[in-house]
Structure 1
Amino acid sequence: MKMIEIHNHLNKIWGEIFELNEVLREKLRPLGFKVEPVEEVFNAYIFLEGEWREMLYPHPAFEIKPQGELGATIQSFYFVFAVPKEKITREFIVEFIKKFPQSYIYGTENFLEDIYNHNFPRNLDEVYEKIEKSQEKVFQLEVEAEDSQDIENKLFEFIGLAKKYKILEI
Protein backbone atom coordinates (compact mmCIF):
# COMPACT_ATOMS: atom_id res chain seq x y z
CA MET A 1 0.00 0.00 0.00
CA LYS A 2 1.44 3.35 -1.02
CA MET A 3 0.44 6.26 1.19
CA ILE A 4 0.56 8.73 -1.70
CA GLU A 5 -2.05 6.67 -3.60
CA ILE A 6 -4.36 6.64 -0.58
CA HIS A 7 -3.80 10.38 -0.10
CA ASN A 8 -4.51 11.16 -3.77
CA HIS A 9 -7.62 8.97 -3.85
CA LEU A 10 -9.09 10.58 -0.72
CA ASN A 11 -8.36 14.05 -2.09
CA LYS A 12 -10.02 13.08 -5.37
CA ILE A 13 -13.26 11.84 -3.82
CA TRP A 14 -13.52 14.71 -1.32
CA GLY A 15 -12.76 17.29 -4.02
CA GLU A 16 -15.30 15.84 -6.44
CA ILE A 17 -18.00 15.67 -3.75
CA PHE A 18 -17.46 19.36 -2.88
CA GLU A 19 -17.73 20.23 -6.61
CA LEU A 20 -20.80 18.06 -7.11
CA ASN A 21 -22.44 19.62 -4.07
CA GLU A 22 -22.15 23.09 -5.61
CA VAL A 23 -23.35 21.95 -9.04
CA LEU A 24 -26.33 20.01 -7.70
CA ARG A 25 -27.38 22.80 -5.33
CA GLU A 26 -28.19 24.89 -8.41
CA LYS A 27 -29.53 22.12 -10.66
CA LEU A 28 -31.82 20.49 -8.08
CA ARG A 29 -33.39 23.60 -6.54
CA PRO A 30 -35.81 24.15 -9.47
CA LEU A 31 -36.89 20.49 -9.15
CA GLY A 32 -37.95 20.94 -5.51
CA PHE A 33 -34.88 19.54 -3.76
CA LYS A 34 -32.68 21.17 -1.15
CA VAL A 35 -28.99 20.26 -1.20
CA GLU A 36 -27.28 20.49 2.19
CA PRO A 37 -23.53 21.16 2.69
CA VAL A 38 -20.97 18.36 2.56
CA GLU A 39 -20.40 16.59 5.88
CA GLU A 40 -18.18 13.89 7.28
CA VAL A 41 -20.33 10.78 7.57
CA PHE A 42 -19.50 8.28 10.30
CA ASN A 43 -21.02 4.90 11.20
CA ALA A 44 -21.43 3.78 7.61
CA TYR A 45 -20.92 0.41 5.96
CA ILE A 46 -19.26 -0.59 2.70
CA PHE A 47 -19.72 -3.84 0.77
CA LEU A 48 -16.23 -5.34 0.33
CA GLU A 49 -15.14 -8.87 -0.48
CA GLY A 50 -18.66 -10.26 -0.23
CA GLU A 51 -19.84 -8.68 3.01
CA TRP A 52 -20.89 -5.42 4.63
CA ARG A 53 -18.04 -3.94 6.66
CA GLU A 54 -18.21 -1.06 9.11
CA MET A 55 -16.26 2.05 8.19
CA LEU A 56 -14.78 3.58 11.34
CA TYR A 57 -13.38 6.40 9.21
CA PRO A 58 -15.50 9.22 7.74
CA HIS A 59 -16.45 9.68 4.12
CA PRO A 60 -17.87 12.76 2.35
CA ALA A 61 -21.60 13.02 1.70
CA PHE A 62 -24.46 15.50 1.63
CA GLU A 63 -28.19 15.30 2.01
CA ILE A 64 -30.56 15.84 -0.87
CA LYS A 65 -33.82 16.70 0.83
CA PRO A 66 -36.24 15.13 0.83
CA GLN A 67 -35.19 11.54 1.40
CA GLY A 68 -31.70 11.34 -0.14
CA GLU A 69 -27.95 11.41 0.31
CA LEU A 70 -25.10 11.53 -2.17
CA GLY A 71 -21.50 10.72 -1.29
CA ALA A 72 -18.32 8.83 -2.02
CA THR A 73 -16.52 5.99 -0.30
CA ILE A 74 -13.11 4.54 -1.07
CA GLN A 75 -14.95 2.18 -3.42
CA SER A 76 -17.39 4.31 -5.39
CA PHE A 77 -19.66 7.32 -5.65
CA TYR A 78 -23.22 6.64 -4.56
CA PHE A 79 -26.62 8.06 -3.86
CA VAL A 80 -29.29 6.56 -1.65
CA PHE A 81 -32.95 7.47 -1.19
CA ALA A 82 -35.35 6.31 1.52
CA VAL A 83 -38.69 5.20 0.08
CA PRO A 84 -41.77 4.18 2.09
CA LYS A 85 -42.74 0.58 1.45
CA GLU A 86 -46.29 1.48 0.43
CA LYS A 87 -44.97 3.55 -2.50
CA ILE A 88 -42.91 0.71 -3.99
CA THR A 89 -44.58 -1.18 -6.82
CA ARG A 90 -43.46 -4.22 -8.79
CA GLU A 91 -43.23 -2.06 -11.92
CA PHE A 92 -41.00 0.44 -10.15
CA ILE A 93 -38.65 -2.31 -8.85
CA VAL A 94 -38.35 -3.90 -12.30
CA GLU A 95 -37.51 -0.58 -13.93
CA PHE A 96 -35.19 0.49 -11.09
CA ILE A 97 -33.06 -2.66 -11.24
CA LYS A 98 -32.95 -2.71 -15.04
CA LYS A 99 -31.95 0.96 -15.15
CA PHE A 100 -29.51 0.70 -12.23
CA PRO A 101 -27.89 -2.74 -12.19
CA GLN A 102 -25.13 -1.44 -9.85
CA SER A 103 -27.52 -1.00 -6.94
CA TYR A 104 -28.59 -2.20 -3.52
CA ILE A 105 -31.99 -2.35 -1.85
CA TYR A 106 -32.19 -2.77 1.92
CA GLY A 107 -34.41 -1.78 4.81
CA THR A 108 -33.75 1.00 7.28
CA GLU A 109 -34.07 -1.23 10.35
CA ASN A 110 -32.15 -4.28 9.18
CA PHE A 111 -29.84 -2.49 6.77
CA LEU A 112 -27.21 -5.24 6.61
CA GLU A 113 -29.68 -7.70 5.07
CA ASP A 114 -29.92 -7.08 1.34
CA ILE A 115 -33.18 -7.35 -0.53
CA TYR A 116 -31.15 -6.74 -3.69
CA ASN A 117 -27.36 -6.65 -4.02
CA HIS A 118 -25.79 -6.31 -7.45
CA ASN A 119 -22.93 -8.57 -6.35
CA PHE A 120 -25.42 -11.42 -5.72
CA PRO A 121 -28.50 -10.45 -7.76
CA ARG A 122 -31.91 -12.05 -7.26
CA ASN A 123 -34.57 -12.27 -9.90
CA LEU A 124 -36.95 -9.33 -10.01
CA ASP A 125 -39.99 -11.24 -8.76
CA GLU A 126 -38.05 -12.47 -5.73
CA VAL A 127 -36.88 -8.92 -4.95
CA TYR A 128 -40.42 -7.55 -5.01
CA GLU A 129 -41.73 -10.51 -2.98
CA LYS A 130 -39.07 -9.90 -0.29
CA ILE A 131 -40.09 -6.24 -0.10
CA GLU A 132 -43.77 -7.11 0.06
CA LYS A 133 -43.27 -9.67 2.86
CA SER A 134 -40.79 -7.57 4.83
CA GLN A 135 -41.66 -5.91 8.14
CA GLU A 136 -39.62 -2.87 7.07
CA LYS A 137 -41.60 0.35 6.68
CA VAL A 138 -38.93 2.18 4.63
CA PHE A 139 -36.43 0.88 2.10
CA GLN A 140 -33.12 2.37 1.01
CA LEU A 141 -32.45 2.40 -2.73
CA GLU A 142 -28.72 2.86 -3.33
CA VAL A 143 -26.98 3.30 -6.68
CA GLU A 144 -23.22 3.19 -7.27
CA ALA A 145 -21.07 4.76 -9.98
CA GLU A 146 -17.39 4.89 -10.86
CA ASP A 147 -17.09 8.68 -10.90
CA SER A 148 -18.86 11.90 -10.01
CA GLN A 149 -20.13 12.61 -13.53
CA ASP A 150 -21.65 9.14 -13.78
CA ILE A 151 -23.36 9.45 -10.38
CA GLU A 152 -24.76 12.86 -11.36
CA ASN A 153 -26.21 11.39 -14.57
CA LYS A 154 -27.68 8.43 -12.69
CA LEU A 155 -29.15 10.76 -10.06
CA PHE A 156 -31.13 12.63 -12.71
CA GLU A 157 -32.27 9.33 -14.24
CA PHE A 158 -33.42 8.22 -10.78
CA ILE A 159 -35.28 11.48 -10.20
CA GLY A 160 -37.12 10.95 -13.49
CA LEU A 161 -38.02 7.41 -12.46
CA ALA A 162 -39.05 8.57 -8.97
CA LYS A 163 -41.35 11.22 -10.46
CA LYS A 164 -42.88 8.68 -12.84
CA TYR A 165 -43.80 6.40 -9.92
CA LYS A 166 -44.40 9.20 -7.38
CA ILE A 167 -42.08 7.69 -4.76
CA LEU A 168 -40.49 10.94 -3.53
CA GLU A 169 -42.14 13.74 -1.58
CA ILE A 170 -41.42 16.53 -4.06
Structure 2
Amino acid sequence: MKEKFDVRAVHEFLNGLWESIFTLNEELKEELPKFGFKVEDVEEVFGAYIFLDGEWRQMLYPHPAFEVKPQIEVGATPESYYFVVAVPKEKVSEGFLEAFLEAFPKSFIYGSEDFLNDVYNCMRDSPLPEEIVKRVQESHEKVFQFEANFESVEQLKEGLFKVIELGKRFEIFNL
Protein backbone atom coordinates (compact mmCIF):
# COMPACT_ATOMS: atom_id res chain seq x y z
CA MET A 1 0.00 0.00 0.00
CA LYS A 2 1.25 3.48 -0.86
CA GLU A 3 2.11 5.88 1.91
CA LYS A 4 0.07 9.10 1.95
CA PHE A 5 2.11 12.23 1.33
CA ASP A 6 1.66 15.72 0.00
CA VAL A 7 2.26 15.40 -3.76
CA ARG A 8 2.26 19.17 -4.23
CA ALA A 9 5.00 19.55 -1.58
CA VAL A 10 7.11 16.84 -3.22
CA HIS A 11 6.59 18.44 -6.63
CA GLU A 12 7.58 21.91 -5.37
CA PHE A 13 10.60 20.51 -3.49
CA LEU A 14 11.91 18.69 -6.58
CA ASN A 15 11.30 21.65 -8.87
CA GLY A 16 13.14 23.91 -6.41
CA LEU A 17 16.05 21.47 -6.22
CA TRP A 18 16.42 21.25 -10.00
CA GLU A 19 15.91 24.98 -10.56
CA SER A 20 18.59 25.89 -8.01
CA ILE A 21 21.11 23.55 -9.68
CA PHE A 22 20.29 24.92 -13.16
CA THR A 23 20.79 28.47 -11.84
CA LEU A 24 24.06 27.58 -10.10
CA ASN A 25 25.28 25.86 -13.26
CA GLU A 26 24.67 29.02 -15.34
CA GLU A 27 26.43 31.21 -12.74
CA LEU A 28 29.46 28.91 -12.61
CA LYS A 29 29.70 28.78 -16.42
CA GLU A 30 30.32 32.54 -16.21
CA GLU A 31 32.67 32.50 -13.20
CA LEU A 32 34.86 29.38 -13.26
CA PRO A 33 36.54 29.41 -16.70
CA LYS A 34 38.84 32.24 -15.56
CA PHE A 35 40.18 29.82 -12.89
CA GLY A 36 40.88 27.10 -15.47
CA PHE A 37 37.70 25.04 -14.99
CA LYS A 38 35.11 23.97 -17.56
CA VAL A 39 31.49 23.69 -16.40
CA GLU A 40 29.41 21.03 -18.15
CA ASP A 41 25.61 21.05 -18.54
CA VAL A 42 23.26 19.71 -15.85
CA GLU A 43 22.34 16.06 -16.31
CA GLU A 44 20.07 13.50 -14.69
CA VAL A 45 22.23 11.21 -12.57
CA PHE A 46 20.97 7.70 -11.88
CA GLY A 47 22.25 5.05 -9.48
CA ALA A 48 23.69 7.41 -6.87
CA TYR A 49 23.69 6.81 -3.12
CA ILE A 50 22.77 8.99 -0.16
CA PHE A 51 23.56 8.44 3.51
CA LEU A 52 20.28 7.86 5.39
CA ASP A 53 19.57 6.26 8.74
CA GLY A 54 23.23 5.32 9.23
CA GLU A 55 23.82 3.65 5.88
CA TRP A 56 24.39 4.35 2.20
CA ARG A 57 21.16 3.81 0.26
CA GLN A 58 20.76 3.67 -3.50
CA MET A 59 18.57 6.25 -5.19
CA LEU A 60 16.60 4.60 -8.00
CA TYR A 61 15.40 8.03 -9.12
CA PRO A 62 17.51 10.71 -10.85
CA HIS A 63 18.96 13.82 -9.28
CA PRO A 64 20.50 16.92 -10.90
CA ALA A 65 24.28 17.15 -11.16
CA PHE A 66 26.99 18.52 -13.42
CA GLU A 67 30.74 18.26 -13.82
CA VAL A 68 33.25 21.00 -13.19
CA LYS A 69 36.25 19.71 -15.11
CA PRO A 70 38.65 18.58 -14.03
CA GLN A 71 37.71 16.41 -11.08
CA ILE A 72 34.53 17.90 -9.51
CA GLU A 73 30.86 16.88 -9.55
CA VAL A 74 28.25 19.32 -8.21
CA GLY A 75 24.63 18.42 -7.51
CA ALA A 76 21.70 18.01 -5.18
CA THR A 77 19.82 15.09 -3.67
CA PRO A 78 16.77 15.15 -1.41
CA GLU A 79 19.23 15.00 1.51
CA SER A 80 21.59 17.86 0.61
CA TYR A 81 23.45 19.96 -1.92
CA TYR A 82 26.92 18.53 -2.54
CA PHE A 83 30.18 18.52 -4.39
CA VAL A 84 32.56 15.61 -4.84
CA VAL A 85 36.23 16.11 -5.73
CA ALA A 86 38.25 13.22 -7.19
CA VAL A 87 41.72 13.22 -5.61
CA PRO A 88 44.47 10.84 -6.76
CA LYS A 89 45.78 8.74 -3.86
CA GLU A 90 49.30 10.17 -4.12
CA LYS A 91 47.94 13.70 -3.63
CA VAL A 92 46.05 12.94 -0.40
CA SER A 93 48.26 14.64 2.21
CA GLU A 94 47.64 15.20 5.89
CA GLY A 95 47.70 18.96 5.26
CA PHE A 96 45.03 18.79 2.56
CA LEU A 97 42.94 16.43 4.68
CA GLU A 98 43.07 18.70 7.75
CA ALA A 99 42.16 21.76 5.69
CA PHE A 100 39.31 19.91 3.94
CA LEU A 101 37.78 18.58 7.17
CA GLU A 102 38.08 21.97 8.86
CA ALA A 103 36.41 23.74 5.93
CA PHE A 104 33.74 21.06 5.39
CA PRO A 105 32.52 19.46 8.63
CA LYS A 106 29.72 17.53 6.89
CA SER A 107 31.89 15.41 4.64
CA PHE A 108 32.67 11.90 3.47
CA ILE A 109 35.79 10.36 1.92
CA TYR A 110 35.58 7.12 -0.06
CA GLY A 111 37.29 5.32 -2.90
CA SER A 112 36.13 5.67 -6.46
CA GLU A 113 35.80 1.90 -6.96
CA ASP A 114 34.47 0.66 -3.60
CA PHE A 115 32.52 3.79 -2.75
CA LEU A 116 30.27 2.17 -0.14
CA ASN A 117 33.24 1.59 2.19
CA ASP A 118 34.24 5.06 3.27
CA VAL A 119 37.59 5.92 4.86
CA TYR A 120 35.92 8.88 6.59
CA ASN A 121 32.26 9.49 7.37
CA CYS A 122 31.27 12.52 9.44
CA MET A 123 28.14 10.67 10.59
CA ARG A 124 30.00 7.62 11.92
CA ASP A 125 33.45 8.43 13.17
CA SER A 126 35.96 11.15 13.89
CA PRO A 127 39.47 9.75 13.43
CA LEU A 128 42.47 12.03 13.43
CA PRO A 129 43.68 13.17 10.00
CA GLU A 130 46.78 10.97 10.27
CA GLU A 131 44.51 7.91 10.77
CA ILE A 132 42.50 8.82 7.67
CA VAL A 133 45.73 9.26 5.65
CA LYS A 134 46.82 5.82 6.89
CA ARG A 135 43.50 4.33 5.72
CA VAL A 136 43.99 5.97 2.32
CA GLN A 137 47.58 4.72 2.02
CA GLU A 138 46.59 1.16 2.99
CA SER A 139 43.71 1.09 0.51
CA HIS A 140 43.88 -0.50 -2.95
CA GLU A 141 42.01 2.53 -4.36
CA LYS A 142 43.84 4.82 -6.79
CA VAL A 143 41.42 7.79 -6.53
CA PHE A 144 39.46 9.05 -3.52
CA GLN A 145 36.24 11.02 -3.56
CA PHE A 146 36.09 13.96 -1.15
CA GLU A 147 32.41 14.83 -0.71
CA ALA A 148 31.00 17.81 1.18
CA ASN A 149 27.29 18.38 1.89
CA PHE A 150 25.46 21.68 2.35
CA GLU A 151 22.05 22.90 3.48
CA SER A 152 21.63 25.46 0.68
CA VAL A 153 22.77 26.16 -2.86
CA GLU A 154 24.43 29.38 -1.61
CA GLN A 155 26.53 27.40 0.89
CA LEU A 156 27.39 24.93 -1.88
CA LYS A 157 28.65 27.73 -4.11
CA GLU A 158 30.78 29.19 -1.30
CA GLY A 159 32.10 25.69 -0.55
CA LEU A 160 32.99 25.12 -4.17
CA PHE A 161 35.16 28.24 -4.25
CA LYS A 162 36.78 27.16 -0.95
CA VAL A 163 37.63 23.70 -2.29
CA ILE A 164 39.03 25.21 -5.49
CA GLU A 165 41.32 27.39 -3.37
CA LEU A 166 42.35 24.38 -1.25
CA GLY A 167 42.86 22.23 -4.33
CA LYS A 168 45.12 24.82 -5.91
CA ARG A 169 47.06 25.35 -2.66
CA PHE A 170 47.69 21.60 -2.26
CA GLU A 171 48.06 20.96 -6.03
CA ILE A 172 45.11 18.57 -6.20
CA PHE A 173 43.79 19.64 -9.62
CA ASN A 174 45.17 18.61 -12.99
CA LEU A 175 44.90 22.07 -14.55
**TM exceeding 0.5:** yes
SS at match of 1:141: strand
Cα deviation, 1:45-98, whole Å, max 9, x if unaligned, reads 111110000100000000110111100001110000111000111111111111
1:92 corresponds in structure 2 to 96
| TM-score normalised by L of structure 2 | 0.95
AA paired with 1:66? P
Alignment of 1:41 onto 2:68: no
Q: Distance in 2 between matches of 1:69 and 1:109?
A: 16
| TM-score normalised by L of structure 1 | 0.98
What pairs with 1:68-107 in structure 2 (closer than 5 Å)? 68-107=72-111
AA paired with 2:33? R
1:57 corresponds in structure 2 to 61
Q: Distance in 1 between matches of 2:130 and 2:37?
A: 32
Superposed CA RMSD:
0.8
Q: Distance in 2 between matches of 1:125 and 1:31?
A: 31
Q: Distance in 1 between matches of 2:38 and 2:125?
A: 33
Q: Distance in 1 between matches of 2:61 and 2:93?
A: 36
Cα deviation, 1:121-151, whole Å, max 9, x if unaligned, reads 3322221110111110000011110111000
Total equivalences in the alignment: 170
Percent of aligned positions that are identical: 51
Give the unaligned 5+ runs of structure 1: none
SS at match of 1:64: strand
1:20 corresponds in structure 2 to 24
4+ residue stretches of structure 1 with deviation over 2 A?
A: none
2:147 corresponds in structure 1 to 142
Give the unaligned 5+ runs of structure 2: none
Q: Distance in 1 between matches of 2:140 and 2:173?
A: 21
